[in-house]
Amino acid sequence: MAHRADLFVALQRVLPKHALSRLIAKAAESKIPWLKNALISRAISAFNINMAEASSDDLDDYENFNSFFTRALKDGVRPLHTAKNSIACPADGVISQAGPISKNRILQAKGIDYSVSRLLGSSAAAKQYEDGSFATIYLSPRDYHRVHIPLAGTLIHSRYVPGELFSVNDQTAQALPDLFARNERLVCEFESDQVGAFTVVFVGAMLVAGIETVWGGFEKPGPGAVRETDFTDQLLGFSKGDEIGRFKFGSTIIMLFQDQKIQWDSNIAPQKAVSMGEKIGSVKS
């Protein structure tokens, strides 16, 4: 298994990942009916996507593949845990890892950890999370791909960090050191009355056609400098469970909380399937 994972990573190293992802993005934006319906039908079959949950199961209601992939769900299929001290899961997916942040390091996979400073693209931002808590959620192509805020909070700052576009599945996570700190990502920093600062990181991946936020729309990808945006004067507040963004293919969300602020539920462990809105932890009193 390890040998296969190494081969998979080696193949990704030589692939033109950005060019391939942007090519896929163009096809995913096509509004040609036969093409976009063929892509949608193939995805439903290949990934066993549950269309009974979708707000519409009529392919003609989706103008392109991306609008299908970021589809809304029917009301009520993802009930939100509303208790004030609960932490709601921000997305559908599988827990990759969750636990304490130790000496500015986050666990990626067994025997592999990486730097919070590098993940966030800022040593000052990382310092807030010394000895804090994190959770990493992997969204597969079959999952609902909108991301919601786990606690009520106000957006303070965002930081786009250019990077690679390696796959973020479990096979790659176990074979490629610093995976999440290498890939393209959008760091979203929030302030909450309940826990103080917390951060949600959108991690890009191979074939991800883009990251969107509800406040800024499409986050233009590609190489270049880190992009910082200050939102402190805009009073962009969100209630727990509000949508904050979406992925245009499978990817990963990482949440960071400060020391002694939250506690994950005892069943939150690697490979546990989770759904948006369910309780995954609690704010410490």
Q: Please tell me the predicted confidence (pLDDT) of residue 53.
A: 96
Q: Is residue 148 among the annotated active site residues?
A: yes
Could you state, in order of their start, the residue ranges of all structural domains in the chain? 2-69, 86-283
Say which of 92, 96, 143, 167 is annotated catalytic: 92
Question: Has residue 244 got a pLDDT over 60?
Answer: yes
* Reported confidence tier of residue 14, pLDDT bands at 50, 70, 90: very low
Question: Has residue 43 got a pLDDT over 80?
Answer: yes
Question: Has residue 78 got a pLDDT over 90?
Answer: yes
Of 10-14, 81-85, 233-237, the poorest mean pLDDT is in: 10-14
* Percent of the chain clearing pLDDT 70 (strictly above): 86
The 8-class DSSP code of residue 89 comes to: P
The 8-class DSSP code of residue 131 comes to: T
* Reported confidence tier of residue 8, pLDDT bands at 50, 70, 90: very low
117 burial (CB, 10 Å; 0-12 / 13-18 / 19+) is: middle
Q: Please tell me the predicted confidence (pLDDT) of residue 19.
A: 52
* Reported confidence tier of residue 44, pLDDT bands at 50, 70, 90: very high
Q: Is residue 117 among the annotated active site residues?
A: no
Find the mean pLDDT for residues 12-22. Answer: 49
Helices (H) and strands (E) in the chain, counts: 8, 18
* Reported confidence tier of residue 9, pLDDT bands at 50, 70, 90: very low
Q: Is residue 92 among the annotated active site residues?
A: yes
Of the segments 180-194, 217-231, 263-277, which one has the largest average pLDDT value? 263-277
Say which of 148, 157, 158, 167 is annotated catalytic: 148
Distance CA 22, CA 27 (A): 9
Question: Has residue 206 got a pLDDT over 60?
Answer: yes
pLDDT digits (tens, 9 = 90+) for 164-175: 777 667 777 777
The helix or strand, by DSSP H or E, that contains position 4, with its residue range, turns out to be helix 2-14
Q: Are strands 251-257 and 196-203 parallel, antiparallel or unpaired?
A: antiparallel
Q: Of 12 and 93, which is predicted with more confidence?
A: 93
Q: Which residues of 189-219 are buried (b: 16+ CB within 10 A; e: fewer)?
A: bbebebbebbbbbbbbbbbbbbbbbbebeeb
Distance CA 191, CA 155 (A): 7
Q: Please tell me the predicted confidence (pLDDT) of residue 24.
A: 62
Which stretches does DSSP call E strand in 140-178?
146-148, 153-161
Find the mean pLDDT for residues 80-99. Answer: 96
pLDDT digits (tens, 9 = 90+) for 220-229: 776 677 899 9
Say which of 21, 96, 122, 251 is annotated catalytic: 251
Residue 172: what are its φ and ψ, rounded to 5°? Answer: -70, -40
Residue 201: what are its φ and ψ, rounded to 5°? Answer: -110, 125
Of 100-104, 120-124, 201-205, 251-255, the poorest mean pLDDT is in: 201-205
